[in-house]
Structure 1
Amino acid sequence: MNLLQQSRKIATTLILILVLTITTACGSGTVTQADRTIAPQIGSDVAYAELQRGNTPTGQSFGDWVVQTSKGLVKDAYVRDNNKLGVVISSQVRPNEVRTLAKSLVQGFQRNFPDKHLTVLVYGPDKKLILTTEYDRASNQIQYS
């Protein structure tokens, strides 16, 4: 690896750390104790968009990025445990494009979460599971079911 490539990787890593530090530091500044006497109501009255996009800060960022960069193809996304991505596609995605979209999501997911066995769950606009895509890191293969 030549010096230019190595310095580019180091610069990219430093920029990523800086961005993650700034976005984490710029979050809400006050933490308040939740009222534990009132149980949260999760049901039909809670909008679907109110759910978290990730259960880790990195997963949350990746879920946000997927929705923002999908140009309307992905209505919602969530990341769990940095190895499972679920996406709700819009009606703009044709049935013959679902597998291609899933493959692209696996590739992007793998770049952001390397060295992991990954699963991408694709849900239709009605939020019913239509495709499960698994990436096996050891064999570098993608399987669809």
Structure 2
Amino acid sequence: MNFIKQSRKILTTFVLITVLMITTACASGTVTQSDRTTAPPAIGRNVAYSELERGNTPTGQSFGNWVVQTSRGLVQDAYVRDNNKLGVVISPQVRPNEVKPLAKSLAQGFRKNFPEQNLTVLVYGPDKKLILTAKYNSQTNQIQYS
């Protein structure tokens, strides 16, 4: 039984990494300077959570939509802010030991779409509480988790 659980975990991680790598390689990842300097929209108090944008730039909006659509149910919601911060709300089906590999996959895909800058991936649980932060350093090409 333990072998089946281990195999499922490895297969899920592999599938997500493969999907992220293939689709980000095919996506256009050009980011203009105007995308980086766009001010975030003002969000009023009467805006419901489901009405928030997935990105505060067109490129960020597209990437946030893409993450949710290609995650095969692992990511319930995603948002991109300032083209260097990705926040994702994971679904209950993601096991605790799968969170770090998922964050790494997301950071790799995020890096391909927003190159040459330091990036942050914030992973939130289904209850929308922060459970993991992955910071990618573009100079060292390393990811730090906290």
Q: How far apart, CA to CA, are the structure 2 residues paired with 1:117 and 1:138?
A: 8
Q: Corresponding residue for 2:89?
A: 88
Distance 1:127 1:59 in 2: 20
* Partner AA of 1:140 in structure 2: N
TM-score by length of 1: 0.70
Cα offset, 1:86, TM superposition: 0.2
Between the two structures, name the one with larger relative contact order (CA 8 Å, sep ≥ 6): 2
**Stretches of 4+ aligned residues off by more than 3 angstroms:** none
Alignment-derived partner of residue 112 in structure 1: 113
Unaligned runs of 5+ in 1: 1-11, 18-39
Say how many residue pairs are matched. 109
TM-score by length of 2: 0.70
Query: Which residue pairs with 1:128 in the alignment?
Result: 129
How do residues 42-61 of structure 1 correspond to structure 2 at under 5 angstroms? 42=46, 46-61=47-62
* CA–CA distance in structure 1, aligned partners of residues 69 and 28 of structure 2: 18
Measured in 2, the distance between the counterparts of 1:16 and 1:118 equals 18
How far off is 1:41 after superposition?
Answer: 4.0
Q: Answer whether contact 1:59 1:80 (CA < 8 A) is retained.
A: yes
Which digits, 9 at most, give the CA deviation of each residue in 1:45-87, with x for residues without a partner? x542211000000000000000000011000000000000000
- Shift in alpha-carbon separation, 1:64–1:138, aligned structure 2, 3 A: same
Gaps of 5+ in 2: 1-24, 30-43
Higher CA-based Rg: 1
Percent identity at matched positions?
A: 74
Q: Secondary structure at the match of 1:101?
A: helix
* Structure 2 counterparts to residues 56-75 of structure 1, below 5 A: 56-75=57-76
Query: Does the CA-based 8 Å contact 2:28-2:113 persist in structure 1?
Result: no
